[in-house]
Structure 1
Amino acid sequence: MNKMSLSTDEKKLTRTLFLRSFMLEASFNFEKMQALGFAWAMFPVIKKFYPTKEEQVEALKRHTAFFNITPYIVTFLLGLSASMEKEYAENKSIDPSMINAVKVSLMGPLSGIGDSFFWGTFRVIAAGVGISLSQQGNILGPILFLLIFNVPHLLIRYYCSVLGYSLGSKFIQSSYENGLISHMTKLATVIGLTTVGAMISTMVVFQVGFTTKIGSMKFVLQDIFDQIVPNILPLSLTFFVFWLIRKGVKVNYIIIGVFAFGLLGTLVGIL
């Protein structure tokens, strides 16, 4: 399948994905990030390919798993997922878990490309042109800034949906033939665990601020923890939060609890 072979309905579907992608972060949250926006963008696809409520609910659940990507290129995965959902609707022998596995394994590399392209290139060029003209009092400054950034953004965003949908069926067929799907499922698990591990050490901050003097020696409690295992407190806090989630505690309650603990701990001087 390629762009030229897309039917009128398929072209309409890719346009719908393109337009709905702008609401990707409308319901952003710290539990699943962009998952709800992704599921909402996929809903027309799900309604089109799955006639029963049970099938629609099952498909929506697949797309409410954790998801986060550079928004400007999300349409590639929307198109790819739409094509894979169509294949699964027509061929139930396909494992549906691979749809989410493909999303998870690609969102990291695609985000790296997207961030470099848009934040590291287009934004810098657009800001440089816009600021230089604005400093001279030229009204073209903000106009050119918006055009230089958004014209390639909108073109790439639209054609990514077409490209993703066009590649979908070919991807599934070739992946099953060479056994890539099973490897991608394992890879998605490894990438997910690696990402979580990296996030714990870089994004979770938990240090004890208690210090005292024993004779002429200064005793710093945090140094003791660091000598046992570096970053053992952030790791312990992460496992504790994970345990609470497994117990069914709502994520919003956990966020409020962690915030209150940090605030009180800071006020009394233990953090």
Structure 2
Amino acid sequence: MSYEKIQAHAWAYSYIPFARKYYHDEPEKKRRLLKRHSMFYNTEPQTGQLINGIVASLEEQIALGNNVSEEMPVNIKATLMGPLAGIGDSIIQGIVVPILLSIAMSLASGGSPLGPIFYIVTYGILGPMISYIAFHSGYRLGVNAIDIIVGENSKRITDAFNILGVMVVGALAANTIVLKTIAKVPLGGKTKPLESVLNGIFPGLLPLIIVLFGWWLVSSKQYSATKVILILTVIVTIGCLIGLF
């Protein structure tokens, strides 16, 4: 990674074995190969391996002397890295990670170390597995994969995964965020717990409010996760001191 070219250097590095295999006695072609793959590149790392597979098949055709221009792999990368980033982020960050974290947090809720161990192991298996499948799928499909990834198909796929990701994150927030109030309100000459009144109107209203507040701080105020955690900690601390929580 670099601030100037993001993932370009890692991509070029991954093609060194390819260059040694096909251009071991042709230094000029090796230089051109590594130079054209040192250009700016940025996409989702796991699903983005689909692009690497497509480009590897094209580069192989170039090395074998078939009718493929050296510009085509570069153009393919520039065309596909945006759509694949959207699809990949929706799958990995919107579905896979929240599901694994929800399971891990449930396992760790009683102080068990199984929670972080579960997440590390499962993501450590799933990440390389997705990369492996994506790369070989791209290699087999070649340029035919473009019809699946770009255009209206890409938008439909991204929208579908975004909706599923929102559902997963919503379910995760509803099941794991806990915020209860011990305050009581006068009701018909008696007092009644505010918690039961709120749940009668909208079950889980307080957790929903705190989630939406955190989302607002991140999206509108552009606060970092650390600042959001500190703000929520202050709010809960003050609420406990005044007898609200």
TM-score by length of 1: 0.50
1:144-172 deviation digits (Å, cap 9, x = unpaired): 2223433322211111121122222xx37
SS of the residue corresponding to residue 135 of structure 2 reads helix
Q: Which amino acid in structure 2 is aligned with residue 78 of structure 1? A: N
**In the aligned structure 2, how far is the partner of 1:117 from the partner of 1:137?**
29
1:176-211 deviation digits (Å, cap 9, x = unpaired): xxxx9xxx9xx9xxxxxxxxxxxxxxxxxxxxxxxx
Residue equivalent to 1:96:
70
How do 1:160-175 residues align onto structure 2 when only pairs under 5 Å count? Answer: 160-168=134-142, 171=143
Residue 61 of structure 1 and its aligned partner are, at CA, apart by: 0.9
- Unaligned 5+ residue runs, structure 2? 152-245
Contact 1:32–1:65 under 8 Å retained in 2? yes
Residue equivalent to 2:115:
141
| Structure of larger gyration radius | 2
Residue equivalent to 2:32:
58
How do 1:12-31 residues align onto structure 2 when only pairs under 5 Å count? Answer: 28-31=1-4
- Unaligned 5+ residue runs, structure 1? 1-27, 188-271
Residue equivalent to 2:94:
120
Residue equivalent to 2:179:
none
Residue 53 of structure 1 and its aligned partner are, at CA, apart by: 0.1
Contact 1:46–1:85 under 8 Å retained in 2? no
Residue equivalent to 2:17:
44
Q: Which amino acid in structure 1 is aligned with residue 75 of structure 2? A: A
**In the aligned structure 1, how far is the partner of 2:122 from the partner of 2:18?**
32
1:191-246 deviation digits (Å, cap 9, x = unpaired): xxxxxxxxxxxxxxxxxxxxxxxxxxxxxxxxxxxxxxxxxxxxxxxxxxxxxxxx
Match of 1:82 among 27, 44, 56: 56
**In the aligned structure 2, how far is the partner of 1:34 from the partner of 1:163?**
21
Range 63-72 or range 144-153, more displaced: 144-153
Residue 36 of structure 1 and its aligned partner are, at CA, apart by: 0.8
**In the aligned structure 2, how far is the partner of 1:93 from the partner of 1:84?**
10
Residue equivalent to 2:180:
none
Residue equivalent to 2:130:
156
**In the aligned structure 2, how far is the partner of 1:158 from the partner of 1:41?**
14
TM-score by length of 2: 0.55
Range 135-144 or range 145-154, more displaced: 145-154
Q: Which amino acid in structure 2 is aligned with residue 40 of structure 1? A: Y
Identity among equivalent positions (%) equals 32
CA RMSD between the two structures: 2.4
Residue equivalent to 2:47:
73
**In the aligned structure 1, how far is the partner of 2:15 from the partner of 2:72?**
16
Contact 2:11–2:38 under 8 Å retained in 1? yes
2:11 counterpart of 1:34: no
SS of the residue corresponding to residue 72 of structure 1 reads coil
**In the aligned structure 1, how far is the partner of 2:58 from the partner of 2:22?**
11
Residue 83 of structure 1 and its aligned partner are, at CA, apart by: 1.1
